[in-house]
Amino acid sequence: MLNPHLIAQLRRAVAENPEVSMLGNLSLDRVQISMPSAPSLPSVMVEPAWHGGMTGPREIFGRPVDDSCLSGVGALGVSVPEKSIYTVENARVVGFDSILGPTGELFAPSPTTKKNIDSLLQKNETDHQGYLIQRSDESFYVYYAARPHDKHFNLDAVYFPNLEPGNYGSFIFRQLPQILSVPDIDRFQAIIVPDRTPWTSAALKMMGFENTPVFSLREVSGDTFRSISLFSDFDAEGTLTPATMGRMRRLATPEGRACTEPSKRHIYVSRLLSSLARPDYRPLKNEMDIEAFFSERGFEIVYPETLTFSEQIHLFHGASKIVGPSGSGMLNAVFSEPGTKIVDMESFHVCVRQHAKIYSSSEKAYSFLFGELEKGDRHSMIVSPWTAPMHLVREAYDWIMD
DSSP 220-240: HTT-EEEEEEEEPP--STT--
The mean pLDDT of the chain is: 92
- What pLDDT is stored for residue 216 in this prediction? 97
Are 243 and 47 in contact by the 8 Å Cβ rule? The answer is yes
Give residue-wise pLDDT tens across range 220-279: 999 999 999 999 877 788 999 999 999 999 988 855 444 445 568 999 999 999 989 898
User: Which residues, including other chains, have CB under 8 Å from residue 80's CB and lie 6 or more apart?
Assistant: 49, 50, 51, 236, 239, 241
- What pLDDT is stored for residue 261 in this prediction? 53
pLDDT (average), residues 123-138: 92
Would you say residue 195 has pLDDT above 60? yes
Give residue-wise pLDDT tens across range 314-332: 999 999 999 999 999 999 9
- What pLDDT is stored for residue 257 in this prediction? 47
As a whole-number percent, the residues of the chain with pLDDT over 70 amount to 95
As a whole-number percent, the residues of the chain with pLDDT over 90 amount to 74
Q: How confident is the model at residue 349 (pLDDT cuts 50, 70, 90)?
A: confident
Exposure on the CB side of residue 351, measured as CA atoms within 13 A = 21
pLDDT (average), residues 96-102: 95
pTM of the model: 0.92
Instruction: Give the number of other CB atoms < 10 A from CB of residue 273.
Output: 13
Are 248 and 365 in contact by the 8 Å Cβ rule? The answer is no
**Cα gap 104→116, rounded to integer Å:** 16
Helix or strand run (H / E) with residue 247: helix 242-252
Give CATH for domain 242-401.
3.40.50
Would you say residue 39 has pLDDT above 80? no
Would you say residue 187 has pLDDT above 70? yes
β-pair type (50-54, 43-47): unpaired
DSSP codes joined into one string, 29-55? EEEEPB--SS--S-EEEEE--EEEEEP
Q: Coil, strand, or helix at residue 140?
A: strand
Would you say residue 380 has pLDDT above 60? yes
For the chain, give every residue range classified as CATH 3.40.50. Answer: 242-401
- What pLDDT is stored for residue 375 in this prediction? 66
Give residue-wise pLDDT tens across range 155-182: 999 999 998 888 999 999 999 999 999 8
- Cβ-count burial of 27 within 10 angstroms (0-12 exposed, 13-18 middle, 19+ buried)? middle
